[in-house]
Chain A
């Protein structure tokens, strides 16, 4: 059980001007599973590698359990890491891989074997202890990598996209197992992924990064319902939130001839905004097909069985705008038909600087 803290941490790679991670301030609570999510180049892996000690921090400090570990070698940090490609030692057996860290710490053989066996039992790896990594399936290798981390009983688990090499079905299954295992062991975990679904389903809290900057860190639900800025709004959620650039006219945000329904609080905040250009954000499930609304043409229909995504092209401020509408599985429209779209839920409003207005 340990608290992890990033304090004003920056990393500038040699030969680069722009920091890969820019003054990151983040605290991971003891026993928490925090997910770092962002598109590629957002600095999420760099942030993780700095915590591991594989990458130096140019500025700021990193603390594990109150101790400043910024200048510690990876060996001294008492952390375990699961790599994207698992990084299993090819010449060692599964047992050898899992026991390697204990061997380095001069743990007596009997104790080592007991711990490896215990971890193997948790991960259903007992029959494979004598096999080499090359004789294992992708899923089994992933579990060995997990096993190598848990026998250590480290202060912190670091996971760098540990599921991205698995096929889709196995990934979903392993995702649940991993979250369950983490909850049972109660070890503080920092988990990196580019997959927002993984982030939302696994994270106790999710930290969204972009271009080295922390955008928002919150519980998944909060992130979904109250995105702090336009980027988070578009990044979290699938299908993505409809983001419509729009101008304020006569103190009202309108969509065609429709006034966008804002709640009282947002209305009030809007009044004190100096700008003219705004972005209206609305999730696909908060739009619906109505008999009289914003008219548009169905451009694409994605039917998933349980639900359908209808891409409707509408006219807005003299340009085409696609709105994605999420409905139940029985969509009765077809491509090319004309429909009317209406609002059916909360609307998010973002200012010129991209920040949420409320």
Chain B
């Protein structure tokens, strides 16, 4: 059996090559983020000069970017806006997507396939093409420059995706488990809460995380439809750049701050996802 454990000769070389390649690719992807992270602690002089790894770290850039210049969008305001918009829209998405996915998988409604394709078809239209009607509608309903508008838009943007994702997770729920719950006398609510949702919990976490990330990073709609009032973190991050140059360190600091919530959310969701997967459903 030891022969299998230790690949010899060619097998060993291949395995080593793949490992190296994986690390190399991971390095290539991670490096810009790493560079952004350390640049945020540099002075503008260091950041804009010849690249160096060792420098005198400073929190100066963080102090500057989190300060609110009078009459401009501040970090705390943008963060508050972003959190409210992203969390509320993601919650609504999940509340709508869970029953929809249930109705498309576990107890499929008639013509469920058509519904499924209708949901995804709403994503066919490029967002640029729909910006003008959205703008006109938003103006008509007096929603411009408000958090409510972005909540509605992000919800519509993420809902089809969430339905499709949750559908695939719901399909994994063994039929017999639901039947067993029915025979055990569980009503629909009880089947959902006690049996189905705990099994799809990792899927719920993954879906919510993706909606969170997409909404958090959304820039185009936010910048087009918000002159004042509902600006989000991406708008703030870009506003840090001014025309006078010498801004790389500041931008790095701002970008790091803008990335943090996504990383934290990812970390929290990952723990959930792993715990969910380790639960080992049926077999």
Contacts and interface: CB of A to CB of B under 8 A. Distances in A.
B109 to A, nearest CB: 15
B185 A83 contact: no
B127 to A, nearest CB: 39
A87 B280 contact: no
Nearest to A78: B185
Interface string B265-283: 0000000000000011111
Contacts of B174: 85, 87
B176 A75 contact: no
Given A75-B186, A104-B185, A104-B186, A87 B281 contact: no
Which of A85, A91, A132, A148: most chain B CB closer than 10 A?
A91
Interface in B160-199: 174, 176-177, 179-187, 190, 194-195, 198-199
Contacts of B184: 100-101, 104, 148, 152
Contact of A89 (B182, B183, B194, B283): B194
A132 B198 CA distance: 14
Contact of A81 (B180, B190, B198, B280): B180
Contacts of A101: 183-185
Interface string A82-106: 0111010111100000001100110
Contact of A91 (B181, B182, B198): B198
Given A101-B184, A104-B190, A87 B179 contact: yes
A75 B182 contact: yes
Contacts of B179: 52, 54, 74, 81, 83, 87
How many of chain A's residues touch chain B, expressed as a range? 20 to 34
A71 interface: no
A54 B199 CA distance: 21
A86 to B, nearest CB: 8
A157 to B, nearest CB: 11
A115 to B, nearest CB: 14
Q: At the interface, is chain B mostly helix, strand, loop or mixed?
A: helix
B280 A134 contact: yes
A134 B176 contact: no
A349 B181 CA distance: 49
A36 interface: no
A74 B282 CA distance: 22
A16 B281 CA distance: 33
A83 B180 contact: yes
Contacts of B198: 89-91
Contact of B183 (A52, A84, A85, A105): A52
A271 B146 CA distance: 97
A251 B179 CA distance: 57
B110 to A, nearest CB: 12
A148 B198 CA distance: 19
A214 interface: no
Nearest to B186: A104
Contacts of A132: 279-280
Given A83-B176, A100-B194, A90 B282 contact: yes
A87 B182 CA distance: 12
Interface in A44-65: 52-54
A282 interface: no
A87 B186 contact: no
Nearest to B185: A104
B282 A75 contact: no
Which of B179, B182, B184, B186: most chain A CB closer than 10 A?
B184
A134 B277 CA distance: 12
B280 A90 contact: yes
A56 to B, nearest CB: 14
Contacts of B282: 85, 87, 90
A180 interface: no
Contacts of B176: 83-85, 87
A74 to B, nearest CB: 4
* Top 10 closest pairs, chain A to chain B, by CB: A87-B176, A134-B280, A101-B184, A104-B185, A91-B198, A87-B180, A74-B182, A90-B281, A74-B183, A75-B185
21 contacts: A52-B179, A74-B183, A75-B185, A75-B186, A81-B180, A83-B179, A85-B176, A85-B282, A87-B177, A87-B179, A87-B180, A89-B177, A89-B181, A90-B198, A90-B199, A90-B279, A92-B194, A100-B186, A100-B194, A104-B186, A134-B279
